[in-house]
Amino acid sequence: EVALREGVVITLGGARGEVVLRPWARESWATAAGRDRYGLWAEFKVKNVAYRMRWIPPGTFTMGSPEGEVGRFDREVLHEVTLTRGYWLGETPVTQGLWEAVTGRNPSYHKGADRPVEQVSWEDCQEFCARLNGVVPGLEVGLPTEAQWERACRAGTTTATWLGDVDEQQLDRIAWYYANSGGETHAVRGKEANPYGL
């Protein structure tokens, strides 16, 4: 561990390039921030509803899935993608509590402040993002691209899920789905987080 003070920069050089280390400054929109075993996180609040974002680092990954992988679509082609900039992504799906704090309404069928919002369209989500950006200056949220979403979900892994190839026992540990959900949504954070803390 290296403790860095404001204004101090450390450069590590080698034959293959260099890495520059600078102190991390909390985002202007964050009411709290830190680092844990998953990496950087930052939190904002809207009407006392806290929501945590996770930093997804830039990098190169293989997008798509190989032939024969369970759940694969025929149109998927394995290809390398490089994201040159890191980005913030919600640690969980947007909760009904946050949606209601931002929009003043809750369209979800399965109600619960800590459950993910559902029964919303792409247009509803665009409106939510615009309103949230108006309420939390400097946040600038938007829906992730397909590549951003897949990089975050894979979290450096290459298998069907970040935990490994699909089998029901593993899937139960990380997801709510038709076989274990009872036909309804459940509170966020009820399953294991991936290596990025999502």
- CA-to-CA distance for 148 and 83, rounded, in angstroms? 8
Mean pLDDT of 6-29: 82
Two tokens, residue 16: 């293959």
Position 11 scores a pLDDT of 86
CA distances from 189 to 1, 55, 105, 114 (A): 29, 17, 23, 9
Note the pTM of the prediction, 2 decimals: 0.86
Query: Would you tell me how many other CB atoms lie within 10 Å of the CB of residue 128?
Result: 19
The pLDDT-based confidence of 138 (bands split at 50, 70, 90) is very high
pLDDT at residue number 13: 86
Q: What is the residue whose two structure tokens read 């830039």?
A: 58
Say what the pLDDT of residue 14 is. 85
**Residue with token string 């561990």:** 1
Percent with pLDDT over 70 in the chain: 98
